[in-house]
Amino acid sequence: MSVGYAAAPKATAANQNAGNTAVKYRPDVTYTLRTDIADGKLVFIGEAGAIKGKVNPELHVPEGAVVQINLVNGDGAQHDISVPDFNATSNKLNEKGSGTAIVFKAGKKGEFKYICTVPGHVQAGMIGKIIVGGEKVGAKPATKAMDVSQNPMDVGQPVGNRSPRTLNVNLETTEVVGQLMDGSTYKYWTFNNKVPGPFLRVRVGDTVNVNMANAKDSHMIHSVDFHAVTGPGGGAAVTQAAPGTEKGFTFKAINPGLYVYHCATPMVAQHISNGMYGMILVEPEGGLPKVDREFYIMQGELYTAQKHGTSGENEFSLEKLLDEKPEHVIFNGNHDALTKTHKMEAKVGETVRIFFGVGGPNLTSSFHVIGEIFDRVYNQGDLTSPPMRNVQTTLVPAGGATMVEFKVEVPGRLILVDHALSRLEKGLVGIMNVTGPENPEVFHSKSKVDANSGH
């Protein structure tokens, strides 16, 4: 193992090897990290103690302490570790199982970053925090708020082979502080306190009564525009509801398909971005073919004044919205929705159906599931034309939808992404765990490398 030193007495270089006896040290704090791949990202993982198993863990050290960080190469790619604020950078590791370390004196209080300096690796996920002196300096306290993320399993009951009927849909528009990611919150605008709003399921020929109430404590007028509605503004023209009031309308579901709904109160893009979107499925006569699993997933964007990863309550930025530069791109409302909060699962041999839509308001999605191929894609939510077959990635525009189906053939972890993969770094990722027997005729690994970590 080689060691890089910084801020040590008499030391004049950031890197020295372990055989150099000119520098003596006795670390007050020691951490050990391992490089690895997790959820499709390159990361550091804690190896022992309180940080064991944690991804890019926060490293807490006292002010003035001599700190040693050991690094073990766990994936075989080239890596190093650096704390730029303390001029500490290790040598580069090129082989799996090799190790290095840095030693430095934490001479100033604050919040600093540790990174891998190999080009592209910070952007790929290799960045963590060192907290010197206890609490995060200059950061707002970590906050907890309500969970606004929509459960992807809440897809309602299939209509089956029933005849048309009259249905009631009740929506409440709310403005609530919700959890965005660990340590940060956002003031969401929602339908029924969830992002996206509820998945609505009707049959072609049904008569639908829409009742929309705007919560008393709202500050904004809200409305709802159903893309499945033939009528003024998709219903928005008659549902502009002030706080504490109710509006409604009745429509007949004429066209089968998968459709987006959203708030259509000016400024419309702001209302949508803040979380006011959802989907309605108008099933064709006789219903959809039966499958084993169904999931409801929508992609959206948040335009915050604060940079991605800022602790505390994040605030809306009109400038970034108009520039179409979101700080967060997410599935089902927040960063954790489809990775930690809601566990999407399937079994080998089952057929999976995903109702996928883009709330937007601006970005087009290149929807892709790493480790699977779509057997059928109902392009643009069209449920009456023959589906496309054997599709790798499908385009879904803002305000658009698609339905995809595939049979899972092997166990493992499927990763849901927008194949505009820079958006993964802004929070856009989902995980589906597939359990069951191995199927070596379809896939088998010839090495010990985790074959489910990406392509």
Query: Given its phi and psi angles, is residue 65 left (phi above 0), alpha (psi -120 to 50 degrees) or beta?
Result: beta
CA 113 to each of CA 41, 55, 85, 343: distance values in angstroms, whole numbers, following the listed order = 18, 14, 8, 31
Region 341-370 average pLDDT: 98
* Cis ω for the linkage preceding 386 (within 30 of 0): no
Is the pLDDT reported for residue 19 higher than 70?
no
CATH code linked to domain 2-132: 2.60.40.420
**Nearest one of 290, 202, 210 to 254, comparing CA atoms:** 202
Q: How far apart are CA 362 and CA 397, in angstroms?
A: 8
5-12, long-range: CB < 8 A, 24+ apart: 5/88, 5/102, 5/103, 5/104, 6/83, 6/86, 6/87, 6/88, 6/89, 6/102, 6/103, 6/104, 7/86, 7/87, 7/88, 7/104, 7/105, 7/107, 8/66, 8/103, 8/104, 8/105
Region 355-378 average pLDDT: 98
Question: Which H or E run contains 318?
Answer: helix 318-323
What integer pLDDT is reported at residue 13 of this predicted model?
32
Region 355-373 average pLDDT: 98
What integer pLDDT is reported at residue 123 of this predicted model?
86
Pick the more confident residue, 451 or 247: 247
Region 124-150 average pLDDT: 76
**Residues contacting residue 259 through CB under 8 Å, at least 6 positions apart:** 226, 227, 228, 279, 280, 281, 282, 381, 401
Q: How far apart are CA 250 and CA 169, in angstroms?
A: 10
Region 261-287 average pLDDT: 98
Q: How far apart are CA 316 and CA 15, in angstroms?
A: 44
Fold agreement (2-132, 139-455): yes
Is the pLDDT reported for residue 378 higher than 50?
yes
| Structure token pair of residue 244 | 């504490």
How many other CB atoms are found less than 10 A from the CB of residue 12? 9
Locate tokens 């209080």: which residue?
109
If pLDDT is split at 50, 70 and 90, which confidence band does 235 have?
Answer: very high
Q: Which of 17-31, 39-53, 435-449 has the lowest mean pLDDT?
A: 17-31
CATH architecture of 139-455: Sandwich (2.60)
Is the pLDDT reported for residue 11 higher than 70?
no
**Nearest one of 350, 354, 378, 358 to 423, comparing CA atoms:** 358
Three-state secondary structure call for residue 74? coil
What pLDDT, in 10s, does the model give residues 400-413?
A: 999 999 999 999 99
Three-state secondary structure call for residue 183? coil
Q: How far apart are CA 201 and CA 350, in angstroms?
A: 23
Q: Which of 59-68, 204-213, 236-245, 372-381 has the lowest mean pLDDT?
A: 59-68
| Structure token pair of residue 181 | 């990611």
Domain boundaries, the chain: 2-132, 139-455
What integer pLDDT is reported at residue 446 of this predicted model?
84
If pLDDT is split at 50, 70 and 90, which confidence band does 182 have?
Answer: confident
Region 131-160 average pLDDT: 79
